[in-house]
Structure 1
Amino acid sequence: MVPAQTAPSDQGMAQTEQPIRVQVSTVAEASVVGDLTLTGTVEAENSVILTSRVMGQVEQLTVREGDRVKAGQLIAQLDVSDLQAQRNQAQAAVNVAQSAYQGAQTQVRQAEAELAEAEAELADAQVNQQRMSRLQADGAVSQSMLDQANTQVAMLQARTNRIQASIRQAEMGIGQAQAQVQQAQSGVAQMEANLAHGTVTAPFDGVVTHKQIEIGAMAGAGQPLVTLESVDRLRLSVEVPEAAIAQVRVGQPEQVRLDALNQTIAGTVSQVIPSADPVSHNFTVKVSLPANAEVLPGMFGRLVGLSTTERQTLQIPRSALVESTGITGVFIVQDNQAIFHPVTLGNPQGDGVEVFSGVQLGDRVILNPPADLKENTPIEIGPG
C-alpha cells in the first residue's frame, strides 16, 4: 500500500524541525528481460478550443457539455450589428469611389470627342495656311490674309494641346479612382469576413467537452467559447523510454489495457515524436484506438507487451513509493533534506520496480517514508 503524504511545507519552516532518522536505498541499474507495460492517457486525435474571432455579445449558444455535433453545425452566434454598420459604411465608400471612377471615365470620353473635333479643325486650318502661303508668294493675296491663316492654326494648335493635357489629367484621375474603388472593395470584403466570423460552427464531428461562456456574455476577439473533441478518433499517448524506442514503428499493432472498462483493445502506432524529453529522455508515442463508444478522452490506459528484449533500467524498492497530492513519487535525500520527486514507473521486478524518469543512478531514496514526512524535512540516515 502506497502511503499518502502531506502537502510540502515551506523550506524555512522545515529547517527548524528536528531531523528524522530514515533508511535509504541507492538507485541501481539492472538488466531486465520481459515485456514493458507503459502507462498513458487516452486523448482525442482532434481537440480544439473554438474561440471568437470578433467582439460581440453571445446571442445564441446551441450546445451543452456532452452534446455531439456534426461538422458545420452552428455552435454560437454573436451580435455583430456594429460590424454590419461598418460594412454598410464600407459599401457606401465603394459607391462613392465607383461614382468618381465613372465620372472620370465620362470626362475622358468627352475630352476625346472634343479632341477629335479640334484636330479636324486644325487639319483644315493647316491646309488653308499652306494655300495662303503659296498665294501670298505669288502676290495673289495680301500678307494680312496669310497672317490670319497663321493665327488660326496657332489658336487651334493651342486648343488641341489643352485638350490633350486635360485627357492626360483625366486618365490619371481614372487610375486614382480605380485604386480607391479597389481599396473600398477590400474594406467591404474585410467587413463581410468579420461578419461571417460572428457565426461559429463545428470544424469536425465531435463532442462538446467544455463550455467556457454563456448566452448574453460579451465575447472578445480570441476568447474561448467551447472545447470540441473528436471522440470517434481517439489515441493513447504514452512515454516510451529511450531503451525501447528503437522497437516502436509507425503502423505496428499494440495492445492497450483500459482498466476502467476492464478491456484490452487492439491499437496501432500512429505517431512517434522524434524528439526525447530533455529531462526524462522519454519519447512520446501515439497509439490510435478503434471506434468505441465506451472509451472516453482522459481515461487511464496501459500499453502492454511492447518489448521482449533485454534492457538496462533503473530500479528502486517499491517500499520507497509514496503519493503526494495524487502524484506517485519518491523522497530523495539531498543536502540532508527530503525532496519529493515524481516518477514514471515501469514493470514490477520482485520487490522493486522499474523507473523511467524522476530519479538518477546513485540517488538515495527513502524507504518506508513516514506518513507525516514533508518536503525539505531534515533527514538523518540510519543504519540499513
Structure 2
Amino acid sequence: MMKYTLLLLFMLSSLYGAELILTGTVISNNQKMIPARYMGYVKKIHFEVGDSVEREDTLFELESAEFDILESQADLALEQAKLMVDVYQTRLNVYKNRKKRLKRDRKLMSASNYRADMEEMSDSMDNVTASIESAQVLVEQVSEKTKQFATIAGYLKIKAPNNGILVDKRIQVGDMVAPGMLTMILVDMDHLEVEAEVAESDLKYVRRHKVVRIKIPSLNYKASGYIKAIVPSANPMAHTFKIRVHFEKTSDMIFPGMYAKVFVDLTNEIVNKI
C-alpha cells in the first residue's frame, strides 16, 4: 500500500509539478496620495516624476495673497503689542526711580506733601501696572494668532510623509489648487509586495501565512515569502480572488509594476488528499 501511495504521489508530482503557479505584479504596500491642504497658486515645485524624496522634504509650495496680507497684519499687531509692553515697563521703571528719590528726600519735605506725592506715585504705578498686564494679555492673544498662521504656512509647504519615489505629478507652477485636491503620488520603495490572482477552484490551496516562492523573471530574482492576505472580494467575471504576498526586498532594481510569479507548494495538499 505504501509503495502504491508513493508511486501515485510521484506521478501526481510529475504531472502537476506539485506547485500552483500564479501570475502577479509587484506593488507598494505604502503608496501615498498627496493632497493640497490650503487654497492657493502653486509657486514652486521641487521634485519631478521619478525623483527620490526623503521624509520631510518640501515637495511643492503654494502662495496666497490673502494669507500673506493676514500674516503681515498679525505680525504687525504682535510687534505693536510688544512695543506697548516695553513702553509701559519703561514708564513703570521711571515711577519706581521717582519713588526711591521721594523716599530719599523725605526729610526735606513736609509730611503732608510727602504723603500726597506718595499716594499720587502709587496710583500712577498701579495704573501703569494694569496697562502692562492688559498689554501682555494682548501679546498672548496675538501670539496665538501668529501660531495659527504658522500652522497655515505649514499647509503652504507640502512635505513628503515618508521616503519614496514620486510616480505621479498632477500640478504645474501657476496652477490653482483647492483643499483635498490630489497633487502627487508617492510610492514607498522599501515595503513591496506581490499581488496575484488565484482562481476560485484553487483557493483551497492558499491560506494566510503559508510560505511560498516568488520569482521576478525580468531580473531572474528569486525569494521566499508568505501569503499576507486573501482579499475576500471575488472578481465576478473571472471568479478569481486577490492575494498579497509579503517578501523581503534585497535588490534595488525591484520596482512596483514588475511582472512576478508566485509558486504555491501543493505537496502537502496532495499527501493529505491521498
TM-score grouping bracket, smaller chain normalisation: 0.5 to 0.7
- Partner of 1:308: helix, strand, or coil? helix
Shift of 1:63: 5.0
Query: 1:83-121: CA deviations, max 9, x gaps?
Result: 333222222112211110011101211221222233345
1:56 aligns with 2:40: yes
Residue of structure 1 aligned with 2:164, choices 206, 216, 236: 206
1:188 aligns with 2:172: no
Query: 1:102-142: CA deviations, max 9, x gaps?
Result: 111012112212222333455666xxxxxxxxxxxxxxxxx
1:70 aligns with 2:30: no
Provide the alpha-carbon RMSD of the alignment. Answer: 4.2
Structure with more of its chain in strand, by fraction:
1
Structure with more of its chain in helix, by fraction:
2
**What's the % identity of the aligned pairs?**
18
Structural mapping, 1:1-384, within 5 Å = 41-61=25-45, 63-65=47-49, 67-71=50-54, 75-122=59-106, 152-231=110-189, 233-236=191-194, 244-245=207-208, 254-258=212-216, 261=218, 263=220, 265-268=222-225, 286-293=246-253, 295-297=255-257, 301-302=261-262, 304-305=264-265, 308=268
Shift of 1:189: 4.2
Distance 2:149 2:40 in 1: 14
Query: 1:123-178: CA deviations, max 9, x gaps?
Result: 666xxxxxxxxxxxxxxxxxxxxxxxxxx434432432332233233223223322
Q: In 2, are the aligned partners of 1:234 and 1:290 still within 8 Å (CA)? A: no
- Partner of 2:248: helix, strand, or coil? strand
State the structure with more CA Rg: 1
Distance 2:123 2:114 in 1: 14
Please, which runs of 5 or more residues in structure 1 have no aligned partner?
A: 1-33, 126-151, 313-348, 350-384
Query: 1:200-259: CA deviations, max 9, x gaps?
Result: 3545553332233344321123322110113354223579989844x55xxxx7421447
Query: 1:292-319: CA deviations, max 9, x gaps?
Result: 535424756535339836899xxxxxxx
Q: In 1, are the aligned partners of 2:25 and 2:195 still within 8 Å (CA)? A: yes
Q: In 2, are the aligned partners of 1:256 and 1:267 still within 8 Å (CA)? A: yes
Distance 2:132 2:185 in 1: 51
Structure 2 equivalent of residue 352 of structure 1: none
Seen in structure 2, the aligned counterparts of structure 1 residues 41 and 171 have a Cα distance that, compared at 3 Å, is: farther
- Partner of 2:72: helix, strand, or coil? helix
Distance 1:57 1:154 in 2: 71
User: How many residue pairs end up in the alignment?
Assistant: 243
Q: In 2, are the aligned partners of 1:236 and 1:288 still within 8 Å (CA)? A: no
**TM-score by structure 2 length?**
0.66
Seen in structure 2, the aligned counterparts of structure 1 residues 104 and 62 have a Cα distance that, compared at 3 Å, is: closer
Please, which runs of 5 or more residues in structure 2 have no aligned partner?
A: 1-17, 198-202, 235-241
